Amino acid sequence: MLIPCPHCGTREMSEFSYQGDATRTRPDPASADMKAWYDYLYNRPNPAGPHREYWQHTGGCRTHLLLTRDTITHEILSVAFARAGLNAAGGRP
Amino acid sequence: MSPRRASAGGLIDRGRSIGFTFDGRDYTGHPGDTLASALLANGVRLVGRSFKYHRPRGIFAAGADEPNALVTVLKDRVREPNIPATQIELHEGLAAESQNRFPTLDVDIGALGQLAGPLLAAGFYYKTFMGPVIGPLRGTRFWMLCERFIRHAAGLGRAGYAPDPARYEKMNAFCDVLVVGAGPAGLTAAEAAAKAGRRVILIEQEPRTGGSANWSGETISGKPARDWATALSERLAARGNLRLLTRTTAWGYYDGNTVAALERVSDHLPGAAEGVPRHRHWSIHAGKVVLASGALECPIVFPGNDRPGVMLAGAVRRYIGEYGVLPGEKLAVFTNNDSAYHAAAALKKAGGAVIAIIDVRPEIPSAARALAEEAGVAPLLGHAVVGTAGKRLSKISVQRFDAATGRLSGDVRPIDVDCLTVSGGWSPAIHLASQAGGDPVWDEARLAFLPPAPRQDWLGAGAFTGAATTAEALTSGRDAGLKAVGKRPSRAKPPTVKAPAIDPHPAPVFEIKAKGKAFVDLQHDVTAEDVRLAHREGFVSVEHLKRYTTLGMATDQGKTSNVPGLAIMAEARGLPIGEVGTTRFRPPFSPVSIGALAGERHGHFKPDRLTPMHDWHVENGARMMEVGLWHRPMIYGEPGETIEQAYVREAAAVRRSVGIVDVSTLGKIAVKGPDAAEFLDRVYTNTFSTLPGGKARYGLMLREDGIAFDDGTTWRLGEHDFLMTTTTANAGRVMQHLEYFLDIVWPDLKIHLTSVTDQWAGAAVAGPNARKVLEGCVTGTAVDTEALPFMGIVHGDIDGVPVVICRLSFSGELAYEVYCGAGYGRHVWETLWQAGVPYGIVPYGMEALGTLRIEKGHVAGAEIDGRTTARDLYLDWVLSKKKPFIGSALMDREGLIDRNRLRLVGLLSLDGQPLDSGAHIVESGGLETPGRSIGHVTAACYSPALSKYIGLALVKGGKTRHGTRAFVSDPLRKRFGPVEIASHHFFDPEGRRLHG
Amino acid sequence: MVKRESPLGPALRPDLHGRSDGGSGVTLSEVTPTFMAEAAAWPGGKKILAAAIGDVTGLALPASPNAGALGAGAAAFSIGPERFFVAGSEGFAARLAAALPLETGTVTDLSHGRTAIRIAGPRAEWVLSKLFAIDFSADAFAVAEGRATAHHDITAQIQRTGATQFDIFVFRSLARSFWRILREASAEVGYEVLSGEG
């Protein structure tokens, strides 16, 4: 699988680390809502098809990328820096 | 001249001879030969024994599709088994031996297994060992009894024990167009793409380019086809934008148009020059791929079709055309299509006697008839071969055959022949296209699976697409090359090809049903009857058929058996072949050496991380140990010392006077920016925003789930400038953890994280005399308690080198960590060392470091093991109640505060014997019958301060057991003994010494 | 002043490891500059960052991904979004820090933390292609551009410093291992070890 890093260009998957499901949101740090924390930490959908997920380019620029990847075909439907501010700053779209 | 070598023809160099051995006998061949062609030229027909039945087998094909002629190549002490003789280029000194025979190839007792043939039918293993066999023959025990014998009898070659000294390497390549196959189609495709100025890679699995042009006997542009191909290849290879790789097999088609290929760089050479690999593994990233991988010939399945001397017709053409070898004296042809008539004509032309052409079809086209005339024989139409005889083929039996009904009739007629060439039609080599995704398409007219619609960026050309003629190959190749570079097909006339016009469509005859074993998969000994048996037993899906019978699962991956096997299954099911479908092809197309997959990473393949003081340690007698990638001193042994004596001496010296240890391996992360303090407050369980400049603080991090993650000290070097230290083992993980939170959870925080582990050399000077050592060498700053209190930081110089000194202690002694630029590390270390000589300074290693921390009860990776919480380790004091931090929401879940959790305690050995980490703690029992475990030892040592063997342990209930007795139980190391459970703060619990 | 020690230690000896036919396809040398640093801006600040680095080093740095520049006694290239690797002489340290106030970004000194190894010669692309899965051809990787990549456990930041020349910056602690790996990969084409030019 190849991943098109907005900074480094297309690289082999071996340069990246999977960093998990990108659809979950972290509860407020002070929240005591255990269900929200469990959902955030443990409950994962496992869709067959497009999936939003984080990959870190550990063997390259080290940024986290937000990918939409088809889990059936490995096709990468979209990619951007996870940190929104970096996208506005002129990474490759 | 060898008995079967034609006096002329072929691409071999008759002027030179090459000596080689096969099964210990000497033979000669010529440059340009393969082992297979040289053996055939020498009249060697029996080359191996089959997988299950030990039937004699010969050379069947001429290329990567060879199922039978697998040999073991011997190079010095290295054995490489299961190499097709058709893919071994002859070279001086080549030594090969046949496989799966005992005691010799000619006399093989395993062949007796043929008598037990019916027992070894499809599903043999399942039925015999897992099914309801009666009485003592049932189940696992019986299997274990038989396994040795069966494994011995069944199988392929034997691997050796000698290490492989060959060099393997990997190569990454990028191109606009990758062309797979350098036959007529691939050559023209590559030419079209290269002329457009694109970067092109052209790969060919054979040693020479040209493919069928090497043996077709056709002419292209008025020249012999092979001359045309040679000239074009040379022109292409001379181009700057084209890389031609021969002896290279594209074996896998992966996501992102990545093609894996294996280049056999020096197998064909007597020896490789220095630095030259044996195999090179290519990962090729291609914009477009042109698949011009040709077609593979199918056999016809009939009884005795595995006899040495039965060969594919196309292969025989190739042996004549490319190697000048006649595989027999009296030859016959058996076919369901026209292409075999070429072989007949070529055999005759090369001087062979064509005895018979047996064709299942009642009528044949005039072009085929003309070729038969050239061969000098009238074809027996509407006939079939129904049997063969001879250990090496000596006779075939022929009978009248009705292609429409498959019925045999009339007398069985014997014909004396020593070589039977067979053709059942041609199947495109669609393996890579199938790997790339999509279902192959059955073509009822060609009786072959055509490539699927592309799921990746590839185009097809030539016989791969089902094209039957060279003229079509040239046109489709050129057009595919143009299309690959975004151009329209050319209107220009392609080169003219002179070749007989033959009908590419075979008659739909796959099998002749008569008495005797008829093989579908020659390499795995799967017969037509096995396929039908699988069907009767309900294994009707092609995927099940494959797994149940192992059809197509051998090293040749069913290149010759796929279509006949499916056809027989389709017939049994009464369905068209297209509906039965084919299994998806999977990598590799051909076997790949494991060495090539490992590349340069074999033996000690991890890189070594060395500290700036590494050479000093080695020069001064350190015994090094690996900690992750790092190399660290374990002990600095003096002559005659045991490891225990050495670390006890080192640790005692630290407590008595002073020692020095290399701490450069600690992870160091620069945390800088306006929000640095806020960031640290969120990631650590305690507060860093309140830390004054020039001070350090111990910090603990939890994972999001509340489990302890890592600890270390973080130094505030400036208002917005922190230096975080992590444990050596977790440095990378901590960095990734912080980057994750910064990028994803708190993207608005303005901080930068940079790994500076390698920037700094670190030495810890510890012991009552540590300050005196510093005073002896540090300039530019005072180091007394006022200037440098506990957890204070100062900047100074040591012999002109700027240093940062922090007073902190892992050993429990008065101690300082001295950091300097890594390039000065050894110099500063040596200067500190010199300053310590008056105090008897000792260097100490990991063992003594561990001993000192166990005595103090400081936790490390063995206790922060990914299962323990801060409370388990009695680190509650470092959990802030004033702010949330990573892990704070979940750290007090019910299961994490259970009173019976394993918690940290100290252990004192009561029998004067050592403790070992990993041993269990039990409350009762003995060596052989220990009671239930209540915990385990995490770290242990001999404590010079206590003069006892002590340890740290995680024990149910923790502190509540202080003062009680238990036992360590370690059955593997035969240790059972009494211990006292105590506080983990063994030594100086008030911490007076570190404030000294 | 004490001399900085090379991490290559005894592994760095001027030597010729030619092919049997006498040729050598690459030269290898250690070229660690006296100053190296990572300079980073806050999101959105790449242009300001490039300008600030330019003021100190005299380099004209495009703000595009993978961009880099080479000049007399200075080199810089992008190693991540809003992040440059800067190499040059010792005087840069204070001037860079001054040019990058906290509102703009930060500078982190790596002068001791990285080791620069230079490979030069007609076969440099070939040798590097054995170790890194990136396209080293001049079309794809122009002179002065940089790449952040990795060979298994060894992360590397690479700048093309000439038509057939690359400078590879690796972690100091891994430099000796990388040097060995690079020499082994170069053996096929023959290599000459040059004494460092610093």
Which tens digits make up the pLDDT trace of B356-372?
Answer: 999 999 999 999 999 99
**Cβ-based contacts of C152 with chain B (< 8 Å):** 601, 607
Region of C6 (left: φ > 0; alpha: ψ -120 to 50; beta: rest) is beta
User: What pLDDT sits at residue B503?
Assistant: 82
User: What pLDDT sits at residue C198?
Assistant: 42
User: What pLDDT sits at residue B152?
Assistant: 63
User: What pLDDT sits at residue B104?
Assistant: 78
Q: Which chains touch A (3 or more CB pairs under 8 A)?
A: B, C
Say if strands B219-220 and B248-254 run parallel, antiparallel, or are unpaired.
Answer: unpaired
In a domain, residue A93? The reply is no
Share of chain B above pLDDT 70, in %: 95
Question: pLDDT, tens digit, for every residue of B22-60?
Answer: 999 999 999 999 999 999 999 999 999 888 888 999 999
Q: Is the pLDDT assigned to residue C153 strictly greater than 80?
A: yes
* Rounded mean pLDDT, B399-421: 96
User: Which pTM does this prediction carry?
Assistant: 0.94
Main-chain dihedrals φ then ψ at residue B358, nearest 5 degrees:
-110, 120
User: What pLDDT sits at residue B6?
Assistant: 87
* Rounded mean pLDDT, B769-797: 97
Strand partners for B27: B20
Whole-angstrom distance, CA of residue B902 vs CA of residue C50: 54
Contact of C102 with chain B, judged by CB distance below 8 Å, is answered with yes
Q: Is the pLDDT assigned to residue B880 strictly greater than 90?
A: yes
User: What pLDDT sits at residue B2?
Assistant: 64
- Which chain B residue has the Cα nearest residue C1? B800
When pLDDT is cut at 50, 70 and 90, the band that residue A92 belongs to is very low
Which tokens go with B110?
């395993």
Eight-class DSSP state of B717? E
* Rounded mean pLDDT, B903-925: 97
Say if strands B200-203 and B242-245 run parallel, antiparallel, or are unpaired.
Answer: parallel
Q: Which of B167, B171, B172 to mutate to test the interface with C (most CBs of C within 10 A)?
A: B172
Q: Which of A5, A7, A19, A69 to mutate to test the interface with B (most CBs of B within 10 A)?
A: A19
Which tokens go with B679?
């960031």
A32–chain C nearest CA distance, Å: 32
User: What pLDDT sits at residue B501?
Assistant: 80
In a domain, residue A75? The reply is yes
Q: Is the distance from CB of C35 to CB of C93 less than 8 angstroms?
A: yes
Whole-angstrom distance, CA of residue B654 vs CA of residue B638: 17
- Across the interface, whether the CB atoms of B744 and A64 are under 8 A apart is answered yes
Domain that holds residue A8: 2-88
Q: Is the distance from CB of C86 to CB of C57 less than 8 angstroms?
A: yes
Domains in chain A: how many in total? 1
In a domain, residue A60? The reply is yes
Which tokens go with C14?
């001027």
Q: Which residue has the higher pLDDT, B152 or B463?
A: B463
Tokens 């960590």 belong to B817
Write down the mean pLDDT value for chain B.
93
Q: Is the pLDDT assigned to residue B325 strictly greater than 90?
A: yes
Q: Is the pLDDT assigned to residue B604 strictly greater than 80?
A: no
In a domain, residue A15? The reply is yes
In a domain, residue A31? The reply is yes
- Across the interface, whether the CB atoms of B601 and C152 are under 8 A apart is answered yes
* Rounded mean pLDDT, B328-339: 95
Integer-rounded Cα Rg, in Å, for chain C is 17
Among A9, A12, A63, whose Cβ lies nearest the Cβ of C81? A63
Whole-angstrom distance, CA of residue B426 vs CA of residue B446: 8
- Which chain C residue has the Cα nearest residue B175? C135
User: What pLDDT sits at residue B136?
Assistant: 52
Whole-angstrom distance, CA of residue B498 vs CA of residue A66: 58
User: What pLDDT sits at residue C178?
Assistant: 97
Q: Is the pLDDT assigned to residue B153 strictly greater than 60?
A: yes
Question: pLDDT, tens digit, for every residue of B95-137?
Answer: 999 988 777 778 777 666 565 555 566 766 666 655 555 555 5
| Other C-beta atoms lying within 10 Å of the C-beta of residue B153 | 18
Q: Pick the closest to residue A26 from B747, B864, B881 (CA basis).
A: B747
Q: ∠ CA B415-B418-B424 to the nearest 5 degrees?
A: 80
Q: Which residue has the higher pLDDT, B270 or C172?
A: C172
Please classify residue A74 by burial: count the beta carbons closer than 10 Å to its beta carbon, then call 0-12 exposed, 13-18 middle and 19+ buried: middle
Tell me the one-letter amino acid at C181: I
Per DSSP, which regions of chain C are E strands? 15-17, 26-30, 35-41, 68-71, 74-80, 83-88, 105-109, 114-120, 146-151, 154-162, 165-171, 191-193
User: What pLDDT sits at residue B305?
Assistant: 96
| Segments in B550-612 forming alpha helices (H) | 562-573, 577-580, 594-598
Q: Is the distance from CB of B286 to CB of B255 less than 8 angstroms?
A: no
When pLDDT is cut at 50, 70 and 90, the band that residue B140 belongs to is low
In a domain, residue A70? The reply is yes
Question: pLDDT, tens digit, for every residue of B935-947?
Answer: 999 999 999 999 9
Q: Is the distance from CB of B19 to CB of B270 less than 8 angstroms?
A: no
Question: pLDDT, tens digit, for every residue of B727-757?
Answer: 999 999 999 999 999 999 999 999 999 999 9
**Cβ-based contacts of C176 with chain B (< 8 Å):** 608, 610
Q: Is the distance from CB of A78 to CB of A22 less than 8 angstroms?
A: no
C103–chain A nearest CA distance, Å: 16
C70–chain B nearest CA distance, Å: 24
Eight-class DSSP state of A3? E
**Cβ-based contacts of B285 with chain A (< 8 Å):** 2, 10
Among B258, B437, B744, whose Cβ lies nearest the Cβ of A54? B744
**For the domain that residue A67 is a member of, what is the CATH number?**
3.30.2270.10
- Across the interface, whether the CB atoms of C130 and B169 are under 8 A apart is answered yes
- Across the interface, whether the CB atoms of C2 and B720 are under 8 A apart is answered no
**Cβ-based contacts of B705 with chain A (< 8 Å):** 41
Q: Which chains touch C (3 or more CB pairs under 8 A)?
A: A, B
Task: Give how far the C-alpha of residue C186 lies from the chain's centroid of Cα atoms, to the nearest Å.
Answer: 18
User: What pLDDT sits at residue A93?
Assistant: 35
Q: Is the distance from CB of B703 to CB of B796 less than 8 angstroms?
A: no
Q: Pick the closest to residue B84 from B31, B23, B156, B28 (CA basis).
A: B156
Q: Is the pLDDT assigned to residue B577 strictly greater than 70?
A: yes
Contact of B437 with chain A, judged by CB distance below 8 Å, is answered with yes
Q: Is the pLDDT assigned to residue C197 strictly greater than 90?
A: no
